[in-house]
Structure 1
Amino acid sequence: MKKTLLGTTALVTAGLIAGPALASDPLTVTVGGSVTAGFYVIDSDNLAAGPFAGTSFNDTAVKLVARNIDINAEGTLDNGMVAGVLATLSLGDDWNTNFNNNDATFRELFAYLEGGFGRFEIGGTDGAAFKMHYTSPWFVPGNGVDSPNILNGLASVPLATTFAPAARHSTFSLMAADANKVTYFTPRFAGFQLGLSFTPETTYNGPNPNGIGLNPNNSSIEEVVEIALNYAGSFGGVDVGVDGFYTTGDAPAGFNADPEELGFGLNLGFGGFTLGGAWYQSEDLGRLGVSFPVPGAFGVEEEVWTAGLSYATGPWTVGIAYLQDEISAPGFAPGTSKVKTWQAGGGYNLGSGVDVGLDLQMTDGDATGIFGPGFEHESKSAGLVLSVAF
C-alpha cells in the first residue's frame, strides 16, 4: 500500500473562481509505476481451527505485488492554479487467481485542483485520514509491517463461525478506502495542515471496491466524514511528523451500529534514524471476507498499534518493527482475536529506482470464543525482495 503525506501547498496567487482562461500548453502526461517481487521460505504451524488444527505448511513461494501503473496528467493554468488527473492501474496476476485474472483495473482515478486556497480532490482515491497518516517506517523495499504488501502469516485467525469479523493489519483509515469522494486540504500553516473528506456511500462506485463495510448485499456505509490534522516540522535537528484522525459514517438501514475510526501517528527523524509508531481503534466496523454481514449488534471493537525503528546511511536501510491487532466481540456471541507480527530486515538501493532487500517475518495469532476456541498459530519466513519503481 503506497502511503502519501501531503506536503506544503505552494502559496501562489489564485482564486476559487476562475475565468475562461485556459492552460497555455496541454497538460503534461507522465507514466510511472512499481513492481515488488519476493522469493520466500515459509514455515507455518497450525493453520486452521477444528479438524485441521495442528497442520503444518513448509514451502517456498514467489510473491509478486504492488503491480501498479500510474498515469498522471498535470499542468499549470494561466491563472496560476495547478490542475490534474491521476489514474492508478493495478495489474492482474494472470493465471494465479482463478486462471483468468489478467486484466488491469483502476484502483484509483481522481481529478484535483490546487492553488493558494489549498487542494481539492474529487473521485476514487483514499481520503484525508489515510493520506495524512504517519506510522512505523518501511525499511524492506516495497514492504512494511503496517499495511504490508507481503504478509507470510495469517492476517487473521480462522473463524469459528461465519458471523465472526476478520482482523485487519493496518492503522490507516479504511472505512471509505478508494470509494468516490471529495477531499479538501488546507494550505500548510506553521507546519499544520487540515484535511476533510466526504464519501456519499462506499459501495462499488469507484474504480475499485473498498473491501470493508457492514453489509455487502447492495447496501453499505454511507455519508462517511473524515477529519485529519497533521504537523510537519523540525526542532533542534529532529524532524517531527504527527497526525490524528477521526472517521465516522452511517450504517445501512436495519443495523444497530455507529461505525467509527480513530487514530494517531508519530514519526521522529534524527541522524539517519526514523522512529515511528501509530495507534488505531474502530467500533461497529467489520472487514468483508466473511459469508455474512457483520451486524453492529455484535458491538465489534478493534485496536491496532505498531512501532518501529529504521536507520538509513547511503544506499543502505535497515530496521525492525512490530504490529499487534486485537479484535473483540462482546455481544451475544463473545470472543477475542489477537494477531502479532514482527518484521526485520533492510534494503540496498542499486540506483534508478531499483532496490534489493532481505525480509524476515514472524507472525502468531490466538483466538477465543466466536473466533475459534483455543486456536493458536505461528508462522516464520525469510525472503529476498526486488522492488523496481519507474
Structure 2
Amino acid sequence: MKKILLGTTALVTAGLLAGPALASDPLKVTVGGNVVTGFYFVDADHVGGTASQDTKVALVARNIDIKAEGTLDNGLVAGVDAKLQLGSDWNANNVQNGSANFRQLFAYLEGGFGKFEIGGTDGAAYKMHYTSPWFVPGNGVDSPNIYNGVSSKYGYNNYSSSPEVRLSTFSLMATDSNKISYFTPRLAGFQLGLSYTPDAQNHGPSENGLVLLPKDYTNNPYDYNNINQVFEIALNYAGTFGGVDVGVDGFYTGGNAMNNVNADPEEYGLGANLGYAGFTLGGAWYQSNDLDYKYGISYARKDAGAEVWTVGLKYATGPWTVGIAYLDGQDNSDGGLGNYRDGRESQTVQLGGGYNLGSGVDIGLDLQWASNQHNDSWNSTSYDTKSGGLVLAIAF
C-alpha cells in the first residue's frame, strides 16, 4: 500500500510579485528513496485445505525519489517531484515484479497565494488526512505496507493473501491519477485543499497528452477504474494549545461513474492527532458509498461500500519509538450484490516499536494480530493470524 503521508502541506510565505521573472539559478536536484524489509514468523489458520506460509520475507515501499526545487527571482518556489516505484510484491497482475514505473510525477508552484500541484499524485483529501500513528518503521495498521492476515476469496483457487476488506481511512478514489490541486495558505491554523481529476481510470502519470480520451472507452461496466470527474475537498487544522499539539481534518471525495453504471461513488473521512510530551494519540474514520476497492484500485459499483475506523497511541523519546494501534474494517455493501458480499469484516492489532540507528536507518519489532470474518448466514467463518517480525527500513 501507499506510504503514509500525515498532517499538512507545507507552504512558503514568499509573495507573488508582478512583472516578468528574472534569471534564476537552476533548480536543485536531489535523489533519494526508501526500502522497507521484514522477516516474519507467521501462525495462520488454514483456508479450506490450504495452509499459509509460516515464515515471510517482505520487501515493500521500494521507491526512488527524484526532486527538483528552487526559488525564482520573483519569489515563487517551483519544483518537480517524481517517485519511481521498483516493482510490487502485492499484485503481480498489475505491476510485474522487477519492473520500474513512475507511480507519481507532478510539478508545483508555491507562493503567498498558496500552492498549486499538477500531474500524477495524491489529492488534497489524501495529503491533508490525519490517522492513527505509525511506530514500527515503515508500517502501520492504516494503509499497511506489510499485512500478514489471510482470508478466503471467491475466485481463483478460492484463496488469496490479499485482504478482502478495506484497510485504509485515506481517500483512494483518484490516488496517483493525473490531477490539479490547490492548497490555500494556512490561516489561523486552518488550511483548505481542493483537487480535480478528469479521469481516474489510470492510476499514475500514464497519459502522454497527445490525445483526448473518450468519456466512455471501456466495455465492461464494472471494469476497474470506471470513474472520472473526481472532486476532492479537504479542510484541516494544526495548532498548539497549552503544550498540546492538535491536528484535525475532514474530507469529501465524489466522482462520476462511467459506462452507464447507476452509481454515485463518494468517500467521507475524519481524522485527528493529539501530541504531548512525546505521546501521540491519533485516530480516523472513513466511509464510502457506491465504491468498491480491490487490489489497490477503486471502481464505481452500485450499493458497494465500506466503513473503517482506527485508533492508536505512540510514544517517542530520543531514537526510540513504541506504540499500539487498532483498525476495524467493515464491508457495508448491500446484500443485493450477492451473499458473498455480506458481513465481511477485518480487525488488526499492531504492537511494536523502532530504534533509529542513524542516517535514515531504523530497525523495529512488528507484532500483528489479524482476523478476517465472513458473518453471512451461509459462510460464517473467521480466519485468524498471529505474526511477529523484525523490520529494517532505510531512507536515503
How does the TM-score come out when normalised to structure 2? Answer: 0.87
Letter in 2 for 1:41: F
Q: Structure 1 residues 32 and 288, CA, compared in 2 at 3 Å: closer, same or farther?
A: same
* Structure 1 vs Structure 2 CA RMSD: 2.6
**Aligned: 1:84 with 2:79:** yes
* Aligned mate of 1:322, from 319, 326, 345: 326
Structure 2 counterpart of 1:3:
5
Q: 1:257 to 1:108 in 2, by over 3 A?
A: same
Deviations 1:290-346 (CA, angstroms, capped at 9, x unpaired): 9xx7631xx122100000001011110000000000002224225110000000000
Q: Alignment partner for residue 123 of structure 1, among 107, 119, 139?
A: 119
Offset, 1:203 = 1.3
Q: Give, in angstroms, the shift of residue 59 of structure 1.
A: 1.4
Give the gaps of 5 or more residues in structure 2. Answer: 208-219
Cα distance in 2 between the residues matched to 1:198 and 1:10: 23
1:67 maps to 62
For 1:296-307, list aligned pairs within 5 A.
296=302, 299-307=303-311
Distance verdict in 2 for CA 1:215–1:117, change over 3 Å? farther
Q: Determine the structure 2 residue equivalent to 1:105.
A: 101
Deviation at 1:218, TM superposition (A): 8.0
Structure 1 unmatched ranges of 5 or more: 48-52
Instruction: Indicate conservation of the 8 Å contact 2:227/2:300, yes or no.
Output: no
Q: What amino acid sits opposite 1:266 in the alignment?
A: A
Partner Cα separation in structure 2 for residue 110 and residue 20 of structure 1: 24
1:195-274 pair list within 5 angstroms = 195-204=193-202, 206-207=204-205, 217=223, 220-274=226-280
In the other structure, the counterpart of 2:369 is 362
Describe the SS at the equivalent of 1:226. strand
What SS is found at the alignment partner of 2:125? helix
Residue 82 of structure 1 aligns with an amino acid whose one-letter code is V
Offset at residue 287 of structure 1 (A): 1.5
Aligned partner of 1:57 among 52, 70, 74: 52
Equivalent residue, structure 2, for 1:150: 146
Deviates more, 1:215-224 or 1:334-343: 215-224
How far, CA to CA, are the matches of 1:66 and 1:160 in structure 2?
A: 28
**Residues 1:193 and 2:188 are matched in the alignment:** no
Kept in 2: contact 1:219–1:252 (CA 8 A):
no
Task: Mark the CA change 1:320 to 1:205 in structure 2 (over 3 Å): closer, same or farther.
Answer: closer
- How many angstroms apart in 2 are the aligned matches of 1:129 and 1:294? 18
Query: How is 1:5-44 mapped onto 2 (pairs within 5 angstroms)?
Result: 5-15=7-17, 19-44=19-44
Asked whether the equivalents of residues 6 and 130 of structure 2 are also in contact (C-alpha less than 8 Å), the reply is no
Change (3 A) 1:272 1:175: same
How far apart, CA to CA, are the structure 2 residues paired with 1:379 and 1:2?
24
Measure how far apart 1:23 and its partner are: 4.5
- Evaluate the alpha carbon distance shift between residue 93 and residue 148 of structure 1 in structure 2; reply closer, same or farther with a 3 A threshold: closer
What SS is found at the alignment partner of 1:129? helix
Select 1:353's aligned residue among 355, 360, 371: 360
**C-alpha distance in 2 between matches for 1:285 and 1:3:** 23
CA contact (8 A) 1:45 1:55 kept: no
